[in-house]
Amino acid sequence: MALVFPCSPQIHAVLLVCLALLSFADGRKLLVVPMDGSHWFSMREVTDELWHKGHEIVVVAPEINLHIKAGENYVMKEYPVPFTKAELEGHVQAFVQVVFEERPFLERFVKIYERLKNTSNLFLATCSHLLYNKELIRYLEETKFDAVFMDPMVPCGQIIAEYLSIPSVFFLRGIPCGLDYQAIQCPNPPSYVPRIFTTNTDHMTFPQRVKNLLFSLLDLILCDFAYAPYTKLASEFLQRDITVTELLSHGSVWLMRTEFAIDYPKPLMPNIVTIGGINCAHKELSQEFEAMVNASGEHGFVVFSLGSMVSEIPMKNAKEIAEAFGTIPQTVFWRYTGETPPNLAKNTKLVKWLPQNDLLAHPKARAFITHGGSHGIYEGICNAVPMVLMPLFGDQMDNAKRIESRGAGVTLNIIEMTSKDLSDALNAVINEKSYKENINRLSALHLDRPIHPLDLAVHWVEFVMRHKGAPHLRPAAHDLNWIQYHSLDVIAFLLAVVLVTMFISLKCCLFCYRKCFYKKERVTKSSKSKTQ
Amino acid sequence: MALVFPCSPQIHAVLLVCLALLSFADGRKLLVVPMDGSHWFSMREVTDELWHKGHEIVVVAPEINLHIKAGENYVMKEYPVPFTKAELEGHVQAFVQVVFEERPFLERFVKIYERLKNTSNLFLATCSHLLYNKELIRYLEETKFDAVFMDPMVPCGQIIAEYLSIPSVFFLRGIPCGLDYQAIQCPNPPSYVPRIFTTNTDHMTFPQRVKNLLFSLLDLILCDFAYAPYTKLASEFLQRDITVTELLSHGSVWLMRTEFAIDYPKPLMPNIVTIGGINCAHKELSQEFEAMVNASGEHGFVVFSLGSMVSEIPMKNAKEIAEAFGTIPQTVFWRYTGETPPNLAKNTKLVKWLPQNDLLAHPKARAFITHGGSHGIYEGICNAVPMVLMPLFGDQMDNAKRIESRGAGVTLNIIEMTSKDLSDALNAVINEKSYKENINRLSALHLDRPIHPLDLAVHWVEFVMRHKGAPHLRPAAHDLNWIQYHSLDVIAFLLAVVLVTMFISLKCCLFCYRKCFYKKERVTKSSKSKTQ
């Protein structure tokens, strides 16, 4: 998809700039408000492709962030935030530490909740510093963008879209409390659409359906609680009352990283575009990795990564894992920056970073040990590599369940598992035919698509820029209140009509009956009196 | 999309056959069970394209039919039916006659209902003769098809798919009584999804929502009534109890001729693929039409057709129309096989057949007078030609409403309108800027798509053939009953839990209260007795 020039990187860069400048005649201006973290990786693939198509891309990001770096294919506009790099990294480390701590369930829940609240406050402060950065906002006003491209998990970009009166395109895996489905007005029946954190599948027993409905109700409270500060911030900044649901309901197109070889089928709306697997393009391995891969011999290799956030784990867990790796004949590539476990076997290569998708695409890849992040599971499916899943937090438990319920992987609890559990799981996914067959089937379904998700995403961003939105995809449900949407007023009216009709009919019958009865009675009485 | 060879038609045909034979190695076998009438036209475009891609196509059709003729790109398997060509054409003529008759509403309704019932009986008899044609069914069994491609309006093809245990792909505009949405398990809220025959838009007043809900309820009865004979036929043929809704719920993919530049946004399911506008490919005009079009001068021309079924209308109506045409400076191409109206103006050319889409694609096309069939309105939109709509029956009133509500056309009642009404409508859509602007806007939205609907349709038929269906797109809702789907059992359970908890709490409180009160009372009594 990307253009490739057979020349030096310098000439390549110059040519790309010239090409971009030339095509800016037809190009449009896109403002990108990404969310920090791994979410940005696949979003960036879309912005890169848009840049190659001649559009001007401006990325707005906090000065202090984890992954949003200056790039060749976009202009970066940074703004100051009230925390340091060390503080931000400290937050992440503290979060990971809490995840790995063995504590009673309730205590663990409270700790994780506190950490999430801290992270949420960090995001809120970042958003507030963006909105009240007068110089930056003036620049955004003057630049006359055609659209905003954003991750709606943090609704900051939509507040700006609203302020600048320009349309927006959302790019997301989903909003945990279901705010996305509320904002799209998409039906989402709890009877067969599993809620996040439940680890339910789409086929639920009665107790699972009870749990699912309870989680749906909890979602309402959670959404309200999590997004209330943004409601306040947006209302203050836009100087009118607006809720986050209403804000997000103005999104023109929702590019959702979902797809039904992995996710369970559920209702969609016309402005939802499914682009699951957008992150699966792979390139050739570097010489270093190619050499290591070739050295793995007939047994092939296993890839192990816990995602961009977790590259260190407590020694106790690391030792269990290292021991398990020693029991399998495959070479293991383990992305790990912590202290080397003393029992590390020879077949295990610790690397600070690994080209995960490129390794998985290699025919010698035998298994993928992953935390079950949405990018990871799509890379596993795209490349048809069976998985051992060690979910840590967020939607990872549910992603793991999706793979496991399809028979394409085994889920383990990284904190409680023993080295034998991991060794057994690896042996199963590598040697039992069913895992490979199932992942092959899922992969074939997933890859058999009429258009690549990246092209689809690019098309819809361009569509929104060209047509100044996509109002023809906005359902009229947005103009109805809850009672109207569910036709409760109409049902009440029709019931009233039926009842009134029945009442009048009954009264008429009674009236007629009494008239006849009264006559009869009178006749009987008079005849009686006559005989008397 | 189709291959084009710069050679004589004979060599072209031979080459195509060779190409097809060569590619049969990778090709698969598709059984096509079309529905007679204009529905077949766009379905045929898909089968032609599939043939070009190397698949073997077998079309099963009744010996006596309106439009399904033998073709170069498929094998035709005909079966005898218990009526003659004259009887079939007589049915159509009688139906058209009833539509044009001026009668009181109720009488007209009864007449149309009778005619529809006759047509429905004809389809049923055709289906029965297909299913009980032992020779043909044996041939179908032996041929080992990969999938059935069908119009589910008449569910005959699905009975065969069920009998042969092969997957099916549906191709349709919609089933009038909403059976499609029932069978797909797709939410279809009557509060903003207008029902057919209501001429409601997606924005409804309270009375319109009442009407819409009543039509939804009527749909249930209508579906049951219209498809009960097929339930009986299918159950007898398959030798097990099965309803038509259940039959259709087994369809793997539903290719729906809908699209949201025209239709109102509403929920979808993952196995619904929208392919509205599939029929818009156009070619160059023949020399005869090119000459007539060029002769139309600066004023351009108007295209008038009432669809494949209606080429004659009563003289009274024809005269009104002819008179109106005399008042406009445009040339009018009128598809008409009846007696020439005596007042026909010079600018009006009567033709027995016209290349509707190719004419509309010409830049001199100024307006399109149409009955509002789904093919016609898409051709109008694709080519951005404003419309005058004269709906006759079926979904035509609703199609007309969609165009009119978008300000891209004017609707007239062909039976009641005067020549002035038509003349005014034509002048409006041709000369008032807004109609052209609106149709241009709709056309731009409609044509701006990431993949052509024909390619999309071909992809999904091939997908179902390759993967033996698409079970991963089938929602788990199919395995729930009505109560479970709406979580009514879960709600009842949770309510019961709440009530029992409240009851026990109340009892406990009462118990405690009594205990305290009793003690106090005893203490008071005993102290009283002491004092006494």
pLDDT tens digits for A427-447?
999 999 999 999 999 999 999
Among A444, A459, A470, beta carbon nearest to B450: A459
Count other C-beta atoms under 10 Å from residue A277's C-beta.
26
Weakest mean pLDDT among A20-24, A28-32, A83-87, A200-204: A20-24
Chain B, residues 475-504, CB within 8 A of chain A, namely: 475-477, 479-480, 484-487, 489-491, 493-494
Q: Please say if the pLDDT value at position A2 is more than 70.
A: no
Q: Which has the higher per-residue pLDDT, A310 or A529?
A: A310
How far apart are the C-alpha atoms of B183 and B161, rounded to whole Å? 16
pLDDT bucket at A4, cuts 50 / 70 / 90:
very low
> What's the gap in Å between the CA of A92 and the closest CA on chain B?
37
In a domain, B323, yes or no: yes
Q: Which has the higher per-residue pLDDT, A4 or B312?
A: B312
Top residue of B1, B28, B186, B191 to mutate, by most chain A CBs within 10 Å, is B191
> Among all residues of chain A, which has the CA nearest to that of B463?
A448
How far apart are the C-alpha atoms of B98 and B105, rounded to whole Å? 12
Q: Please say if the pLDDT value at position A525 is more than 70.
A: no
CB pair distance less than 8 Å for B467 and A444: yes
pLDDT bucket at B92, cuts 50 / 70 / 90:
confident
Looking at the structure, tell me whether residues B461 and B488 fall in a common domain: no
> Among all residues of chain A, which has the CA nearest to that of B441?
A467
> Among all residues of chain A, which has the CA nearest to that of B444?
A467
Looking at the structure, tell me whether residues A474 and A485 fall in a common domain: no
How far apart are the C-alpha atoms of B426 and B323, rounded to whole Å? 13
The tokens describing A277, both together, are 């697997």
Residues of A in contact with B455 (CB under 8 A): 450
Q: Please say if the pLDDT value at position A287 is more than 90.
A: no
- As a whole number, mean pLDDT of residues B316-333 equals 92
Alpha-carbon separation of residue A524 from A260, A515, A521, A527 (angstroms): 80, 14, 5, 5
Among B203, B451, B480, beta carbon nearest to A191: B480
> What's the gap in Å between the CA of A24 and the closest CA on chain B?
20
Please calculate the CA angle A392-A396-A398 and round it to the nearest 5 degrees.
Answer: 130
Looking at the structure, tell me whether residues A342 and A411 fall in a common domain: yes
Among B449, B477, B490, beta carbon nearest to A209: B490
At which of A447, A468, A501 does a domain end? A447
Residues B399-436 have pLDDT tens digits of 999 999 999 999 999 888 999 999 999 999 999 999 99
> What's the gap in Å between the CA of A509 and the closest CA on chain B?
27
Looking at the structure, tell me whether residues B265 and B340 fall in a common domain: no
Top residue of B402, B472, B485, B486 to mutate, by most chain A CBs within 10 Å, is B472
- Torsional class of A197: left (φ above 0), alpha (ψ -120 to 50), beta (otherwise): left
How far apart are the C-alpha atoms of A171 and A193, rounded to whole Å? 21
A207 inside 8 A of chain B by CB: no
Is residue A181 helix, strand or coil? helix
Residues of B in contact with A260 (CB under 8 A): 270, 472-473
> Among all residues of chain B, which has the CA nearest to that of A462?
B448
Pairing status of strand A75-79 against strand A147-150: unpaired
Looking at the structure, tell me whether residues B175 and B95 fall in a common domain: yes
Q: How many inter-chain contacts (A to B, CB under 8 Å) are there?
A: 154
Residues A35-56 have pLDDT tens digits of 988 889 889 999 999 999 999 9
pLDDT bucket at A107, cuts 50 / 70 / 90:
confident
Residues of A in contact with B491 (CB under 8 A): 213
CB pair distance less than 8 Å for B189 and A485: yes
Q: Could you identify the residue written with the tokens 């912005």?
A: A47
**Count of domains forming chain A:** 3
- As a whole number, mean pLDDT of residues B461-473 equals 96
How far apart are the C-alpha atoms of B145 and B31, rounded to whole Å? 6
The tokens describing B424, both together, are 């005014």
Looking at the structure, tell me whether residues B344 and B459 fall in a common domain: no
pLDDT bucket at A519, cuts 50 / 70 / 90:
low
Residues in chain B: 532
Among B268, B484, B491, beta carbon nearest to A270: B268
Half-sphere exposure (CA, 13 Å, Cβ side) for B265?
20
Looking at the structure, tell me whether residues A471 and A484 fall in a common domain: no
Count other C-beta atoms under 10 Å from residue B39's C-beta.
20
In a domain, B522, yes or no: no
How far apart are the C-alpha atoms of B515 and B521, rounded to whole Å? 10
- As a whole number, mean pLDDT of residues B494-504 equals 95
pTM of the model: 0.90
For every residue of A321-371, DSSP letters joined together read: HHHHHHTSSSEEEEE--SPPPTT--TTEEEES---HHHHHTSTTEEEEEE-
CB pair distance less than 8 Å for A202 and B455: no
In a domain, B334, yes or no: yes
The tokens describing B148, both together, are 């059935």
* Residue A469, pLDDT score: 96
Cα–chain center distance at A439: 22
Q: Please say if the pLDDT value at position B518 is more than 80.
A: no
Burial of residue B283 (CB within 10 Å: 0-12, 13-18, 19+) is: exposed
> Among all residues of chain B, which has the CA nearest to that of A267?
B269
Among B187, B449, B474, beta carbon nearest to A267: B187
> What's the gap in Å between the CA of B306 and the closest CA on chain A?
28
Looking at the structure, tell me whether residues A442 and A459 fall in a common domain: no
* Inter-helix orientation angle B315-326/B419-431, to 10°: 40
CB pair distance less than 8 Å for A472 and B445: yes
In a domain, B517, yes or no: no
> What's the gap in Å between the CA of A244 and the closest CA on chain B?
22
> Among all residues of chain B, which has the CA nearest to that of A202?
B476
How far apart are the C-alpha atoms of B84 and B96, rounded to whole Å? 19
Q: Above pLDDT 70, what percent of chain B?
A: 92
In a domain, A462, yes or no: yes
> What's the gap in Å between the CA of A205 and the closest CA on chain B?
11
Q: Could you identify the residue written with the tokens 């007078």?
A: B369
Residues A51-74 have pLDDT tens digits of 999 999 999 999 998 889 988 899
Weakest mean pLDDT among A134-143, A236-245, B32-41: B32-41
* Residue B522, pLDDT score: 62
CATH of the domain at A402: 3.40.50.2000
For every residue of B123-158, DSSP letters joined together read: HHHHHHHHHT-HHHHHHHHHH--SEEEE-TTSTHHH
Residues B185-206 have pLDDT tens digits of 999 999 999 998 888 999 999 9
Chain-wide mean pLDDT for chain A? 89
Evaluate whether B338 touches B319 at the Cβ level (below 8 Å). no
* Residue B23, pLDDT score: 45
At which of A425, A447, A469 does a domain end? A447
Residues of A in contact with B467 (CB under 8 A): 444-445, 448
**Terminal alpha carbon distance of chain A:** 111
What residue type is A293 in one-letter code? V
Residues of A in contact with B259 (CB under 8 A): none
Residues of B in contact with A203 (CB under 8 A): 476, 479
Looking at the structure, tell me whether residues A425 and A456 fall in a common domain: no
Count other C-beta atoms under 10 Å from residue B279's C-beta.
23
The candidate with the shortest Cα–Cα distance to B388, out of B298, B302, B264, is B302
ipTM of the complex: 0.89
Evaluate whether B445 touches A472 at the Cβ level (below 8 Å). yes
Evaluate whether A330 touches A430 at the Cβ level (below 8 Å). yes
> Among all residues of chain A, which has the CA nearest to that of B473?
A265
CB pair distance less than 8 Å for A450 and B459: yes
Evaluate whether B1 touches B280 at the Cβ level (below 8 Å). no
Residues A153-204 have pLDDT tens digits of 999 999 999 999 999 999 999 998 899 999 999 999 999 999 988 889 999 9
The candidate with the shortest Cα–Cα distance to A183, out of A231, A232, A117, A122, is A231
CB pair distance less than 8 Å for B267 and A186: yes
Evaluate whether A147 touches A167 at the Cβ level (below 8 Å). yes
Q: What is the SS3 string spanning B483-501?
A: HHHCCHHHHHHHHHHHHHH
Q: Please say if the pLDDT value at position A359 is more than 70.
A: yes
Please calculate the CA angle B424-B428-B433 and round it to the nearest 5 degrees.
Answer: 170
- As a whole number, mean pLDDT of residues A17-41 equals 74
Q: Which has the higher per-residue pLDDT, A517 or B245?
A: B245
In a domain, A162, yes or no: yes
Chain B, residues 213-252, CB within 8 A of chain A, namely: 213-214
At which of A430, A447, A464 does a domain end? A447
Looking at the structure, tell me whether residues B250 and B347 fall in a common domain: no
- Torsional class of B185: left (φ above 0), alpha (ψ -120 to 50), beta (otherwise): left
Looking at the structure, tell me whether residues A456 and A510 fall in a common domain: no
A186 inside 8 A of chain B by CB: yes
The tokens describing B201, both together, are 């838009």
Q: Please say if the pLDDT value at position A366 is more than 70.
A: yes
* Residue B16, pLDDT score: 47
Structural domain harbouring A317 = 287-447
* Residue B523, pLDDT score: 59
How far apart are the C-alpha atoms of A388 and B42, rounded to whole Å? 47
Chain A, residues 419-478, CB within 8 A of chain B, namely: 444-445, 448-451, 455-456, 459-460, 463, 466-467, 470, 472-477
> Among all residues of chain A, which has the CA nearest to that of B487?
A191
In a domain, B233, yes or no: no
Residues A442-453 have pLDDT tens digits of 999 999 999 999
A53 inside 8 A of chain B by CB: no
Q: Could you identify the residue written with the tokens 């609203």?
A: A162
In a domain, A202, yes or no: no
Instruction: Give alpha helix (H) positions in B239-329.
Output: 244-249, 287-294, 315-326
Pairing status of strand B365-370 against strand B301-305: parallel
Q: Please say if the pLDDT value at position B505 is more than 50.
A: yes
* Residue A21, pLDDT score: 46
A187 inside 8 A of chain B by CB: yes
Q: Above pLDDT 90, what percent of chain A?
A: 68
Top residue of B186, B192, B479, B493 to mutate, by most chain A CBs within 10 Å, is B192
Evaluate whether A125 touches A83 at the Cβ level (below 8 Å). yes
* Inter-helix orientation angle A105-131/A206-238, to 10°: 30
Residues B93-146 have pLDDT tens digits of 888 788 787 777 788 778 888 888 888 888 999 999 999 999 999 999 999 999
- As a whole number, mean pLDDT of residues A92-120 equals 81
- As a whole number, mean pLDDT of residues A112-133 equals 89
Looking at the structure, tell me whether residues A54 and A169 fall in a common domain: yes
Evaluate whether B413 touches B435 at the Cβ level (below 8 Å). no
B350-373 burial, b at 16+ Cβ within 10 Å, e below that, comes to bbeebbbbbbbbbeebbbbbbbbb
The tokens describing A175, both together, are 């909003």
Chain-wide mean pLDDT for chain B? 89
